[in-house]
Amino acid sequence: MGIWGWMVLGVVVLALLYFIGIYNGLVRLKHGVAKAWANIEVLLKQRHDELPKLVEVCKQYMKYEQDTLEKVMQARSRVQAAQATGDIKALGEAEGMLRMGLGQLFAVAEAYPQLKANESFQHLEARISGLENAIADRREFYNESVNALNVRIEQVPDVFVARLFHFRPAELLEFAEEEKRDVDLKQLFT
């Protein structure tokens, strides 16, 4: 093999290594998105398990607030259904409804001093609030991971490898319109 043969072989080997590097980078990003989603699912499951306990404690005190309690449980069911089907858009909307329902529940609970003093309520309120903060953090990390993947599969030369191996863009976990608006405090206390 002459000098030109070695040069062609060297170029082919370098191109192959570059191609492998792009592919491995895309795989790493795809699995990063899956890992970020799994972290959200763990927190959603924990919150999902805590909500019936909170509603049960509230039922003992809030005889006239059944609508608020039912809204929280309906939103919880919608979150679970969206999570089970993997529908990111529906999950974002259901999350918005659930957060609004919890906000209303905690606001209404202010009118019940015995409930606010209940140790179980205090524990569950703190636990759910902590989970809400953790979910918000994980949602931000998930969206960053999705964005990194989506950008890479659209950039040249990665786009050619992404198309060849059928890498698809991931969907952002977006907030519901209600969650983006400012809270109407008058509505919460009427």
How high is the pLDDT of residue 188? 43
Instruction: Please give the Cα distance from 47 to 127 (Å, whole number).
Output: 8
**Side-chain-facing half-sphere of 171: CA atoms under 13 Å:** 10
Instruction: Please give the Cα distance from 93 to 86 (Å, whole number).
Output: 13
Find the angle CA(184)-CA(59)-CA(121) to the nearest 5 degrees: 75
Q: Which residues contact 32 (CB under 8 A, 6 or more apart)?
A: 145, 148, 149
Q: DSSP secondary-structure letter at 181?
A: S
Complete domains list, the chain, with CATH: 30-133+174-188 (1.20.1440.20)
Q: Which residues of the chain have pLDDT under 50?
A: 180, 182-183, 185-186, 188-190
Spatial contact of 19 and 160, defined as CB atoms under 8 Å apart? no
Instruction: Please give the Cα distance from 107 to 184 (Å, whole number).
Output: 12
Spatial contact of 108 and 121, defined as CB atoms under 8 Å apart? no
Spatial contact of 79 and 48, defined as CB atoms under 8 Å apart? yes
How high is the pLDDT of residue 176? 64
Spatial contact of 98 and 76, defined as CB atoms under 8 Å apart? yes
